[in-house]
Structure 1
């Protein structure tokens, strides 16, 4: 495990710690104005698809476009500002009365709506697949009620939109069937605070020559309680690795407690609770190998590449399942390792041996980190986002 890393900044404030008045003022200060609507601030979709993108638009020097985000209890107030807007981005917002009123006001003033979604959750035809992928009990009628209602409401929101934005080409092809203007790809990126601290962590590891202590630690950063099936893709290989190698440990961060095949080695597993995303960067930086296993479903193959770039940015090697996004992000064997189901044993052993060779490890992860800081930099999203919104910006 890597030690002596810089502490988490004490003055971290989330991008959503702001009043509506401040957000409106920033948005209306631009030559062009776009409002993003989302149910309520959270650390997953909201952070990547709303807070990070809005913050990037508002801080890129010289940009003509400014944005603001608005949540449930702010939509009716936002409706009064519609005549001053160029567009409204409906970010994974299920249809309800407040959204209906906003849509009607937007239509009355010819303000276009653009749907943004980062998962295959806008078509009830995939509801059963989503439930299965997330490990939901299909014998429980309430689960069917929840998922059909949620996905059906998202589809109703989508129906009101002229265009769409998403994270990758697979989701784009699905969404394009529903919108007349087509779908643009706007990638997930780090935000300013996350990237700055990741750079500090990386620099500390480089300065120490990637010096490490104790067992090689393999980290799984689950994020939500629904990742049991994904973890199972790698758990048997992890168990075999721990059978063979006494100098390897596992760190699990998040909600996962079902170890599956790894259960006999529970005493060698460190559990950390779900944590703030900036604090999470330190936890990822401390481990030598980050894993991103995914069960092969149509739902999972639409996942983005964030599990790779958040680890790469802090100088940590990643072993990941194949998905189109991860295949495109990772240069296999160079910036990370891509593993098919039968390749996890070898890929994990390779990662452990790489970690034990400081020079070889540095030669792999340092260039990968620089790539992450360039390609997934906080401001890199401004250009594709502006390009996606450009057709909707009115002459003022």
Structure 2
């Protein structure tokens, strides 16, 4: 064992894609499930997206990890992290939750251009291929990377976003008046635009209905006619603060529209998890992404404007149905989407990466003898 002792557990160093440290992706996937872990075989440390080789080498020496995880790493410096891990004889996992090898124009011009620069795409592919194991967030994403020709052994997570059981049900009450909302980043404007006809129709029919947009996404221009009944709420950068803030909004219904395309088909059911934890009924796009989450009455699925309008309208008018849906969703959270289950999943992936690395080292020794 390297920098850790048996009581503390092995150190997994998560190299983040954010210049300021872990983003929501890394907190969801590694930070939160291990924060309150008791007697875990692994402990977690984070490193931000560093700017030069010297900083990478200094960080690796400082942390002296037992396992290295490159999370969404599209930097050429990923190769230096892998080189150091190989020299130290430790396993390397590549972690990713989006198909960054094929970012579509629908996410916005700036993201499309940035992620599709040839040198960035090549660095991403090199980093993935240089690792012992590729850990992807969904089975759909595993299929996509196989279609891209990625040869690295790949494991798909059964769950992506999870919750602390003690937080389920510990909620702020809903708003006294009807409020529906959408939370997301600027790259989801096309998703939100899909449901604007239904939202606007509902707001015209119900003068007391308010609509809120939370995050870096801009307020759609269609909502201007409703004045103060439509509100934009600025983003909360720290994911630890994000969940309590979302809970405090008191939305009656959280909306989860998704365009039906190959990029979104690889997504996880994160919005359903976060809305349900916040005590909101969920209406989501009728896509495989949300099938499991919304099954058995834990959410409603909608595929066109009429269905969106009807689903949201029914829930607004029927508090018994709305509350039953929330109760069902939160029961599912406790059964399936817990930090404990996610932690077990990550531990199994770390252990598998270690076994692959051991076999690789053994085969290398054989070739040298």
With normalisation by structure 2, the TM-score equals 0.82
Q: Is the 8 A contact 1:49 1:188 kept in 2?
A: yes
Cα 1:152–1:180 shift into 2, 3 Å:
closer
- Asked if 1:227 corresponds to 2:207, the answer is no
Could you say which residue in structure 2 is the equivalent of 1:6? none
Cα 1:112–1:178 shift into 2, 3 Å:
farther
Q: Is the 8 A contact 1:189 1:380 kept in 2?
A: no
Could you say which residue in structure 2 is the equivalent of 1:10? none
RMSD of aligned C-alpha atoms? 2.9
Unmatched 5+ stretches in structure 2:
359-369
Q: For each residue in 1:14-53, what CA deviation from the matched residue of structure 2 results, as whole angstroms up to 9, or x when unmatched?
A: xxxxxxxxxx976885454432211332442232234235
The Cα of 1:100 is off from its aligned counterpart by 2.5
- Distance in 2 separating the partners of 1:302 and 1:166: 10
- Distance in 1 separating the partners of 2:145 and 2:227: 42
Write the mapping of 1:193-342 to structure 2, written as runs, cut at 5 A.
196=166, 199-201=169-171, 205=173, 213-214=176-177, 216-222=178-184, 224-275=185-236, 276-277=238-239, 278-284=241-247, 286-331=250-295, 334-342=297-305
Cα 1:373–1:52 shift into 2, 3 Å:
same
Of 35, 40, 51, 2:31 maps to: 51
- Distance in 2 separating the partners of 1:63 and 1:317: 34
- Asked if 1:162 corresponds to 2:162, the answer is no
- Distance in 2 separating the partners of 1:279 and 1:182: 31
- Distance in 2 separating the partners of 1:363 and 1:145: 44
Q: For each residue in 1:49-98, what CA deviation from the matched residue of structure 2 results, as whole angstroms up to 9, or x when unmatched?
A: 34235x25xx433332333222234632343378x64432111112324x
- Distance in 1 separating the partners of 2:325 and 2:218: 32
Runs of at least 4 residues off by over 4 Å: 24-31, 195-198
- Asked if 1:69 corresponds to 2:46, the answer is yes
- Distance in 2 separating the partners of 1:133 and 1:294: 11
The Cα of 1:390 is off from its aligned counterpart by 1.5
- Distance in 2 separating the partners of 1:151 and 1:117: 14
Cα 1:347–1:174 shift into 2, 3 Å:
same
Write the mapping of 1:73-88 to structure 2, written as runs, cut at 5 A.
73=50, 75-80=56-61, 85-88=65-68
The Cα of 1:156 is off from its aligned counterpart by 2.1
- Distance in 2 separating the partners of 1:264 and 1:336: 29
- Asked if 1:385 corresponds to 2:346, the answer is yes
- Distance in 2 separating the partners of 1:213 and 1:106: 55
Q: For each residue in 1:194-241, what CA deviation from the matched residue of structure 2 results, as whole angstroms up to 9, or x when unmatched?
A: x6555421xx54xxxx7x523x1111112x222211111111100111
The Cα of 1:255 is off from its aligned counterpart by 2.4
Of 5, 13, 26, 1:35 maps to: 13
- Distance in 1 separating the partners of 2:5 and 2:163: 19
Q: Is the 8 A contact 1:314 1:369 kept in 2?
A: no
Write the mapping of 1:344-383 to structure 2, written as runs, cut at 5 A.
344-354=308-318, 357=319, 359-383=320-344
Could you say which residue in structure 1 is the equivalent of 2:367? none
Unmatched 5+ stretches in structure 1:
1-23
Q: Is the 8 A contact 2:13 2:69 kept in 1?
A: yes
Equivalences, count: 342
Q: What SS does the aligned partner of 2:116 have?
A: helix
Cα 1:386–1:228 shift into 2, 3 Å:
same
- Distance in 2 separating the partners of 1:264 and 1:150: 42
With normalisation by structure 1, the TM-score equals 0.77
The Cα of 1:166 is off from its aligned counterpart by 1.4
Could you say which residue in structure 1 is the equivalent of 2:98? 119
